[in-house]
Amino acid sequence: MADSKKKEELEDQLGKAAEMAKVAVKPVLDFLTMALPYVITYSKKAHAIYLKLPHDYIELLTGIVFCFMGGFYPALFAAIEAARFGGLETVKNSLADLADEALKIIEASKKDDKEDKDGDGVSDVNQMDVDDYILRKSQLVLKKMDPKKVDHAIAAMYKVWLSVLAVLAVQFARVATMSATITEFLQKPLDRYVIPVLEPAAPKEYRKWVPVTISWMVKLFAMSLAWYIQTIISAVGSAMRGGLMMSRSLMKLAYKNGWKFVPQDDKDTNIDEYASYAFAAFGFWFQFQLNFAVPFPFNILLFPFELAEGWIKYEVANSN
């Protein structure tokens, strides 16, 4: 009887939640219909402005970010590099295709919202219950959407994301292996010399917790140390990558501004490599001095980067 009552209560709660969700559908769809065109339009305008900006200055700015901030967000910058090699241009094209499909459906939905077949002065959608409204909008999406285009765009983005995950999974596996090695290296001397000293000092009823607590502390320390070492490796790599971008963009800008003694093509000289070493060393030193943590108030401005970093680490951890 108790199980049957609990089941009925659960079904009742689920039914109420479903009804609440239905009530929220129309306002949410109305908001998306209003907001998405602005988001997509302004995103396209921002991208058009970006394409018109001097490429060398953009590359210089990107190089500075990589050189001086790569260690702050190691997973994010590793993902960007992996995506660059895995097909970042493909992602851009896929997002553009999805945006075009979304705009097409939104325009059709706006026309549908104004339709008044019975001529009573009130649009048809405003005279429907929630179930009919959902069904009508679902049918509209199915009619207006190009399924092949959407499928191709999503599949292309998924392939790039899989390549990013593969690269980051290797990084995560390296951290896990390093952590296990450090734990094994530290645990044996602690078992031999530290635990026998601490156990007699602890109250008799709590002595059983001493080995477990020490083990947890060692594993936590080992994982923290492994991530710190990985952060250093990532910071060195991003500093070198950013330093080379900076030196090459500066060389191109110098030549364009009349410094004719500077080679036009980086293939004709080693100056860019020599300069990149100095930029990379300074970039790594800058990050190391800050202990690979973004200082205030930049941590507030770069909070979206923090979210992206945490999300990427979570996804990589779940994929293993």
pLDDT tens track, the chain, 320 positions: 555 665 566 556 655 555 665 555 567 666 666 665 666 666 666 666 666 767 778 888 888 888 888 888 888 888 877 777 767 677 777 877 777 777 777 777 777 777 767 667 777 666 666 666 667 777 777 777 777 877 888 888 787 778 777 777 777 788 888 888 888 888 888 888 888 888 888 888 888 888 888 889 988 898 888 888 888 888 898 899 888 888 888 888 887 777 766 676 667 677 778 888 999 999 999 989 888 888 777 778 778 888 888 887 777 666 65
Would 63 be classed as within a structural domain? no
The letter for the amino acid at 251 is M
Domains in the chain: how many in total?
1
Asked, for residue 169, whether it belongs to a domain, the answer is: yes
The tokens for 225 are 């140390």
In angstroms, the CA 246 to CA 57 distance is: 9
The answer as to whether 64 is a domain residue is no
Asked whether residue 275 is domain-assigned, the answer is: yes
How far does Cα 252 stand from its chain's mean position? 32
Contact assessment for residue 234 and residue 210, using Cβ atoms and an 8 Å cutoff: no
Q: What pLDDT, on the 0 to 100 scale, is given for residue 97?
A: 78
150-159: Cβ within 8 A, 24+ apart:
150/97, 150/98, 150/101, 152/94, 152/97, 153/93, 153/94, 153/95, 153/97, 153/98, 154/94, 154/98, 156/87, 156/90, 156/91, 156/93, 156/94, 157/90, 157/91, 157/94, 157/95, 159/86, 159/87, 159/90
pTM: 0.62
**Residue 135 located in a structural domain:** yes
State in Å, rounded, how far the first CA of the chain is from the last one: 42
Is residue 97 situated within a structural domain?
A: yes
For residue 15 the two structure tokens come to: 């039914």
Q: In terms of C-beta distances under 8 Å and separation of at least 24 residues, what long-range contacts does 225-231 make, across chains too?
A: 225/179, 225/182, 226/175, 226/176, 226/178, 226/179, 226/182, 227/175, 228/292, 229/178, 230/74, 230/171, 230/174, 230/175, 230/178, 231/71, 231/74, 231/292
Q: Is it true that the peptide bond before 297 is cis, omega within 30 degrees of 0?
A: yes
Dist. CA 129–CA 19, nearest whole Å: 12
Q: How many CB atoms lie within 10 A of CB 179?
A: 21
Residue 132: give the domain boundaries: 75-319
- Domain for residue 42, yes or no? no
Kindly state whether residue 22 falls inside one of the protein's structural domains. Answer: no
Residue 301 phi/psi, 5-degree rounding, is -65, -35
